[in-house]
Amino acid sequence: MENAMSRPPLPPFTAETAAQKARLAEDAWNSRDPERVSLAYTEDSVWRNRVEFLSGRNEIVGFLTRKWARELDYRLIKEVWTWNGNRIAVRFAYEWHDDSGHWFRSYGNENWEFDDAGLMRRRLASINDLPIAESDRKYHWPLGRRPDDHPGLSELGL
């Protein structure tokens, strides 16, 4: 595991650097690699994800490992809602299916707070799941990073 001393872009954020931070987070989450994703957070990062409360990278790795074992063919898009200083608010939607083949689109909002090194020290996420038909899916890129030419949330009307 690499040593994550600094994670640019660093606060205070601008429109451009907040968008870069959101895209970097999206790319990492679309890798579905819990260890890689955990490096963007402080060692003692605090999360609220739905009704779960986590603290520290080890709990984050465990949570993400469980998440992606259950949420199959996961594809995510994030979009900045607003930013100020060392905080960014994003909205997101991701598509996935369970092991029975039932598809979902999960919608949510996250509030992020960063330390001076650009590591996220707090993540507060509210998420709702909508069952969808496979024919209603909007995310069809190969697993991994969303292609640069793929529409974002606003362009998709989400």
| Residue range of the domain that includes 88 | 15-136
Asked if the structure places residue 41 within a domain, the reply is yes
Asked if the structure places residue 52 within a domain, the reply is yes
Average pLDDT value for residue range 16-38? 98
Asked if the structure places residue 152 within a domain, the reply is no
Asked if the structure places residue 96 within a domain, the reply is yes
Asked if the structure places residue 24 within a domain, the reply is yes
Here the CATH number for the domain that contains residue 100 is: 3.10.450.50
Asked if the structure places residue 6 within a domain, the reply is no
Average pLDDT value for residue range 73-95? 98
What whole-number percentage of the chain has pLDDT above 90? 97
Amino acid at 40: A
Give helix then strand counts, H and E, for the chain. 3, 6
The CA distance from 22 to 24, in Å, is 5
Asked if the structure places residue 151 within a domain, the reply is no
56 touches 122 (CB < 8 A): no
57 touches 45 (CB < 8 A): yes
Sheet architecture: strand order including 87-97: 52-55, 41-49, 120-132, 103-114, 87-97, 72-84
Residue 96, pLDDT > 60, answer yes
Asked if the structure places residue 22 within a domain, the reply is yes
Paired residues of 37 in beta bridges: none
Number of domains in the chain: 1
The CA distance from 70 to 18, in Å, is 30
Mention every residue, 6+ apart, whose C-beta is less than 8 A from residue 149: none
Q: How many residues does the chain have?
A: 158
What is the structure's pLDDT at 2? 42
DSSP type of residue 55:
E
Q: Under DSSP, is residue 130 helix (H, G, I), strand (E, B) or coil?
A: strand
pTM, two decimals, is: 0.95
Least confident of 4-18, 42-56, 91-105: 4-18
Q: Cis peptide leading into 147, omega within 30 of 0?
A: no
Amino acid at 104: F
Q: Under DSSP, is residue 158 helix (H, G, I), strand (E, B) or coil?
A: coil
